[in-house]
Amino acid sequence: MAEGETEEQETLIRADDLQELSVGGGGGGGGGGGGATATMPPLPSLLQQPPPPWHLPLHCAALVLVSAALVIMLPVYLESINGAGDAYSGLLFLSLFTAAPIVLCVQVRYSYFCQVGRLGPPSPARVVRLGAIHGLATLMTVYALDRRRVVCHAQEPLMGLVVMYMIIIYFFYRGPELSSAKMFSLCGVLSGLFLAVDFQLNNKFRCRGSDRAGDGPAEEGPKWGMEAHSLWTIVYAVALFLFTLAWLMLEREVLSKKGMDTGRRLITTVSGAPGGGGEDTEALVVVANGGGGSGVLALPTAVPNAKWELYMVWFSLASLVATLALLWTDFFTTLGKAGSPSEFARLAAGGWRCHFHWGGECGPTALYGWLMAALHVIFLWLLGKVMTAAQSMVFALATTALALPIQAAWWSLFTMGGPLGMVWHPVITGELIFSLLGTPVMVACLCFWCHVDAKNSHRTNSLLLT
């Protein structure tokens, strides 16, 4: 066997050149009639019947709703837990009750920790590093949003930086490879998002349904100077970059072209159909050599290395460990709220007690704490579903960006306050109007992405018939 035969090889061929090749090992024209016929390697399970086409839109809609719920509830949760506890105790609660259900369910279903080597993922250490980065980014984000260190009206709109960071990472980090059509779609999502949240970003006299007079107090709670606001805004932006980077790098671990069996070769086909535009599409070609027989098979190359939930075990555990390892940050009032180990113990005890107690200084902490923990687990599951179906974390994260115009419209109907943390108070505002203008642009661009995917899939499937 020649050296390096098992390595991936890229060849530029035309789709028309595959027409003379037969799918399967049954005897081609060149060789020896009914003699020794080459045996094709077993086909991967990905060749099973694909899920119905309505699965992806349904999962996308559910992902948007869950993301919007998390974005809306986060500031209410942080405000309520600061009554008896602090933001760090809330983050620790959410990290623990995100990791625990995932680990428990995976262990019960797969007996996972008894067969880690067989089930994967291939490189848990890399997933652990990405989970630690995600945990650090989450802690930085919570500290930045805690007690409105980032100005209130800019907190949610700045989350849209995730979409811009994806474009930057694509160009400079050589992240997920996108066609020009998909890059156009992503830029369209960014444009629609900017239109949807621009009014909210610039309206400093209104925050989450509450109007503030121009001569009134700029913020409730601690009075932060402009230097503090600016510094924490920078920290917030860096945290969102780390968040985006962790998820995009995780995609490279989950969807990989590595680990193909001998006899499989990666080719790049160029459309020869009129009006095809010369777009490139990659396909996995299975070739069986020997005995005069040959076969070829074309199918998408982004093959999951292991089940998504197995990655989430290591990812969520690493994020929890990173959060625990950084508990000392709460000892300094510059970062956290405690200021000392003894005060930290008191606030942590108060924060955890509020998750099992309703009313008083705890307010609706228990309601939003448990709701957010459950929704975060569902969010991770849906994110994996959308990423696997679209074979792109870029598309999945861009879909979650639709949560931002939804939260802008939500705070035109509700205001923070009351025993449940929100009070019905509908008002026609600029935020509502601009969110309604930007949302259709974002939806149209995401639909265009799906159209491009369907077109490429149709071209690849046509190769199987030739």
Per-residue pLDDT at 256? 67
Tell me if 417 is assigned to some domain.
no
Tell me if 333 is assigned to some domain.
yes
Q: Which region holds residue 8: left if phi is over 0, alpha if psi is between -120 and 50, else beta?
A: beta
Per-residue pLDDT at 286? 44
Tell me how many domains the chain contains. 1
Entry pTM: 0.79
Tell me if 374 is assigned to some domain.
yes
Q: Are 92 and 321 in contact (CB under 8 A)?
A: no
Question: Containing domain of residue 124, as a range?
Answer: 82-151+204-213+221-256+304-391
Q: How far is CA 17 from CA 23, 173, 365, in A?
A: 13, 34, 64
Tell me if 185 is assigned to some domain.
no
Binned average pLDDT, 10 residues per bin, the chain of 466 residues: 44 43 42 42 44 84 97 94 91 96 89 72 89 96 93 92 90 65 91 94 87 50 81 96 94 67 42 40 43 43 68 94 94 86 92 88 92 96 92 93 95 90 91 95 94 75 50
Q: How many residues does the chain have?
A: 466
Residue 81: DSSP 8-state: H
Q: Of 163, 148, 43, 132, nearest to 404 (Cα)? A: 163
Q: Of 415, 414, 408, nearest to 442 (Cα)? A: 408
What is the C-alpha separation between 9 and 186, in angstroms, rounded? 30
The angle at the Cα of 265, spanning 36 to 6, to the nearest 5 degrees, equals: 85
Which helix (DSSP H) or strand (DSSP E) does residue 167 occupy?
Answer: helix 161-172
Per-residue pLDDT at 10? 41
Tell me if 63 is assigned to some domain.
no
Tell me if 240 is assigned to some domain.
yes
Tell me if 357 is assigned to some domain.
yes
Tell me if 128 is assigned to some domain.
yes
Q: Are 300 and 283 in contact (CB under 8 A)?
A: yes
